[in-house]
Amino acid sequence: MPYEPGESGRKRTRFRSEAEHHSLVIPNSIPVSRRAPFRWEDIVKSVANIIPRLDGVSRDSLMLMHQEIGAIELLHAAWIDYEGAGDLSHLLALCADDIEFWPPNAPPIIGREEVARYLSRTKTVIHDIKVSERRIRVSPGFAYLTAKYQTTFTAQDEQTATTAGNHLWILRNHGNHWIVALVAWSVWA
């Protein structure tokens, strides 16, 4: 059930039947840690009261999807915080054992130990990571997240640089929480 920005900047909604593949897209450029506190339940109840029957989608399904998106937003914010702090052990704890990294112009790196080796091979210091246009789509058992990023860092040669691109995450629902199964990214600036 995609949410898309309307012409006025407000979100418009299209709903499908419960039997079809459901997804929820929320473009987002405001970091979770900088937003005013809110409760997903209050937002969903407001929407559910305005639209009593959502063309085959129950209020409980809508509430659950909003909760799942909130959990993925928090996971993404934690990842960015750990990456910025250089906290490799906590970052890898967010990943599946069979995590796949697909760097630009290189073969995929598969497995938590291999990814740990890849991430620890350089001593890059990250100064800032900005994320914009984040979109999350949730389905039963899996989700994916796309976003633009801009990272300012100092490399081993002590030169400060900024790079920008897009990243794609595929997440799996593992019990009661989401884990990162694949991270692919592009570099275009």
Summarize pLDDT for 60-75 with one digit per residue, the tens: 777 778 889 999 999 9
Q: Torsion-angle region of residue 160: left (phi > 0), alpha (psi -120 to 50) or beta?
A: beta
Half-sphere exposure at residue 158, Cβ-oriented, CA atoms within 13 angstroms: 0
Q: In which band, very low, low, confident or very high, does the pLDDT at 24 lie, cut at 50, 70 and 90?
A: very low
Q: Which of the two residues, 100 and 158, has the higher pLDDT score?
A: 100
Q: What is the pLDDT of residues 172-183, one digit of tens each?
A: 998 889 999 999
d(CA 183, CA 166): 11
Q: Which of the two residues, 134 and 20, has the higher pLDDT score?
A: 134
Query: Which residues, other chains included, contact 162 with Cβ-Cβ below 8 Å and sequence gap of 6+?
Result: 150, 151, 152, 153, 189
Q: Which of the two residues, 148 and 156, has the higher pLDDT score?
A: 148
**pTM of the predicted structure, to 2 decimals:** 0.68
Beta strands in the chain (DSSP E): 3-5, 11-13, 95-102, 109-110, 125-139, 142-154, 160-174, 177-185
Give the lowest-confidence range in 2-11, 110-119, 142-151, 170-179: 2-11
Q: What is the pLDDT of residues 102-132, one digit of tens each?
A: 999 889 999 999 999 999 887 888 999 999 9
d(CA 145, CA 171): 8
Fold category of 3-185 in CATH? Nuclear Transport Factor 2; Chain: A, (3.10.450)
Residue 29, pLDDT score = 39
Q: In which band, very low, low, confident or very high, does the pLDDT at 28 lie, cut at 50, 70 and 90?
A: very low
